Amino acid sequence: MNIYRHLGTSLLVLVLATFPQLVSAEGEGSSLTSAVDSATATVTEAVSSAVTTEEASTEEVAPELNSGDTAWMLTATALVLFMTIPGLSLFYAGMVRSKNVLSVLMQCFAITSLMTVLWVVYGYSLAFTDGGGWNWFVGGFDKIFLKTVTVDSLSGTIPESVFMTFQMTFAIITPALIVGAFAERMKFSAMLVFMALWVTLVYAPVCHWVWGGGWLDAYGVLDFAGGTVVHINAGLAGLVAAIFIGKRKGYPQSAMPPHNLTLTVVGASMLWVGWFGFNAGSQLAADGVAGMAMTVTQIATASAALAWMFSEWLTHGKPSVLGIASGAVGGLVAITPAAGAVGPMGALAIGAASGLGCFVAATKLKRIFGYDDALDVFGVHAVGGIIGAILTGVFAATALGGAGFGGDNSTMGEQVIAQLIGVGATIAYTTVVSIILLFIIDSVIGLRVDEEQETEGLDMALHDERGYII
């Protein structure tokens, strides 16, 4: 539309400037012809100038480094890494028995190291580059070994190195979440092989589907910070692994309470603080959306913590420390896909729904079906992620205080259907591939420690160390 404004203005100026010449030249043929020729040349010049101005205005502006955005993303990256080591590590370590505390800490620390290397070598490329004919499913190899990622390369308004590292922290925490489902019974070697294959064949493709230009992105699926990519993905893989590897020896006949809830609460608190980097950082800028993402994260977490606490209080007669901490994590999970799309009241509702839903899944559903999800990875992360992903489609509506729907979706129904497609696709793909990987690994090297090692505890059996020497 700018070209027409430029052209209209030029023509108006032209008429005002040449009209006196035309009037004064009336009756004089040669003078009139000269005036007309002059006016024509002026019109041509005006049109050319207008077109040039429009072309210049439509040229894509090259991205420029923004120091404020960069400073925030450096901070957010550190916060998300802080979520895994030490946040998640301590959260899980406190919930296992004392003879296995080091094994969980070791698994999280080793996963952090392994995922860092794999992400640098090929993971970032598979998730965030153009895959050509396979781009709907996975990226390509344009950035293997971080080729073309230099000091000067940008991703939006931040250094690409910062963006790559930020996304690396997501690739670290996602497989680390799975550890809680099969805690106290998997071989350390089998765990490393499974995680390496899983992040390659499951995490990287699903990440690309949603954030790298894949097919779910085309559907307008809203997943601001990883409801499907991180939490549903990890929760389903954890459930599959827990069922495939089998129950812990003595479960559920023998009581297996957390050995140190102090560690668990400290870890949950670290997760809460670190999650601001997770959600607000996913805007990749220091702006109003990041500010609102931080706000709704706080609201949903508090709402979920209270919902779990009061549900447990009414059901069991007393509120527990483990319960309120688990509820808070469930709220953090549920608001993750919605953080950039919903308003404060939507966050309040999503938090309450996830607190109640995760409580039922962790305390009722697990008993009904009898699976041994040791640290409730499915009950908190998968169920919380599913609740949050679906309700994102509801509370993203501007009428409910949200920021609007994704892609070409124009109604709440269309957005909810898109969310359901994203949830269903993630569940199906993760389940199938995880089963195949577990079957292959079990056939080659075995998944589970022997009965004697499990009885002794993985700290001594696998690492020859003790968490406590008293």
pLDDT on residue 173: 98
Model confidence band, residue 28 (pLDDT cutoffs 50, 70, 90): very low
Taking the C-alpha atoms of residue 108 and residue 220, their distance in angstroms, rounded to an integer, is: 33
The pLDDT score that the predictor gives to residue 470 is 79
Average pLDDT value for residue range 403-415: 95
**Distance (Å, whole) CA 310 – CA 134:** 48
Q: pTM of the entire structure?
A: 0.87
Decide if pLDDT at 408 tops 60.
Answer: yes
Least confident segment among 29-43, 134-148, 283-297 = 29-43
Residue 246 Ramachandran class (φ > 0 left, ψ -120 to 50 alpha, else beta): left
3-state secondary structure of 159: strand
In terms of pLDDT, which residue wins out, 298 or 49? 298
Domain boundaries, given as residue ranges, for the chain = 2-58, 68-463
**Count of H-run helices and E-run strands, the chain:** 21, 2
User: Which sign, positive or negative, has the C-alpha torsion 261, 264, 270, 276?
Assistant: negative
Q: What number is the average pLDDT over the span 340-353?
A: 98
Could you tell me the sign of the dihedral formed by the alpha carbons of 357, 195, 247, 329, in that order?
negative
Give pLDDT, residue 85: 96
Place of tokens 């809680």: 180
Answer with the residue of higher pLDDT: 84 or 57. 84
The per-residue pLDDT for 60 is 57
Measure Cα distances from 162 to 63, 71, 125, 156, 167 in Å. 15, 10, 15, 11, 9
**In the prediction, which pLDDT does 41 show?**
54
| Local structure of 448: helix, strand or coil | strand
Does 31 have pLDDT greater than 80?
no
Compute the C-alpha angle 130/133/139, nearest 5°.
30
Q: Is the pLDDT of residue 21 over 80?
A: no
Average per-residue pLDDT for the chain: 90
Q: Is the pLDDT of residue 22 over 70?
A: no
- Using the predicted structure, report yes or no on whether residue 9 has a pLDDT greater than 80: no
Per-residue model confidence (pLDDT) at position 385: 98
DSSP state, residue 145: G
pLDDT of amino acid 291 = 98
DSSP code at position 199 = I
What does DSSP assign to residue 61?
A: P
Please compute the mean of the pLDDT values over residues 154-182 and round it to a whole number.
98
CB 271 within 8 A of CB 87: yes
- Roughly what angle, to the nearest 10 degrees, separates helices 412-444 and 188-198? 140
Please say if the pLDDT value at position 72 is more than 70.
Answer: yes
Q: Note the CATH number of domain 68-463.
A: 1.10.3430.10
Residue 167: predicted pLDDT: 98
Say which residues have a Cβ less than 8 Å from residue 116's Cβ, sequence separation at least 6.
Answer: 168, 172
Specify whether the CB–CB gap between 242 and 371 falls below 8 A: yes
Q: Map residue 133 onto helix, strand or coil.
A: helix
At 30 the pLDDT is 47
- Provide, rounded to the nearest whole percent, the portion of the chain with pLDDT above 90: 86
Torsion angle defined by CA atoms of residues 80, 81, 86 and 91, in that order, rounded to the nearest 10 degrees:
40
Alpha helices in 59-151, H assignment, sequence order: 67-82, 89-95, 101-118, 124-128
pLDDT of res. 13: 40
Whole-number Cα distances in Å, 54 to 63, 206, 329, 433: 20, 40, 51, 51
User: Which letter does DSSP use for residue 281 in this model?
Assistant: G
**Which of 305, 406, 288, 315 is CA-nearest to residue 348?**
305
Distance, in Å, from the CA atom of 221 to the CA atom of 217, rounded to the nearest integer, reads 6
**What band does 48 get if pLDDT is binned at 50, 70 and 90?**
low
Q: Band of the pLDDT at 50, cuts 50, 70, 90?
A: very low
Could you give the 3-state DSSP secondary structure of residue 356? helix
Q: Band the pLDDT of 63: cuts 50, 70, 90.
A: confident
**CB distance 383 to 308 below 8 Å:** no
Burial class of 80 by CB neighbour count within 10 A (0 to 12, 13 to 18, 19+): buried
Give, in degrees to the nearest 5, the angle at Cα 118 between 117 and 119: 90
The pair of structure tokens assigned to 425 is 């696709």
Reply yes or no on whether the pLDDT at 428 is more than 50: yes
The string of pLDDT tens digits covering residues 192-250 is 999 999 999 999 999 999 999 999 999 999 999 999 999 999 999 999 999 999 999 99
Closest alpha carbon to 215 in 144, 275, 131: 131
What does the pLDDT average to over 393-398?
97
Instruction: Give yes or no for residue 461 having a pLDDT over 70.
Output: yes
Tokens of 298: 């706080």
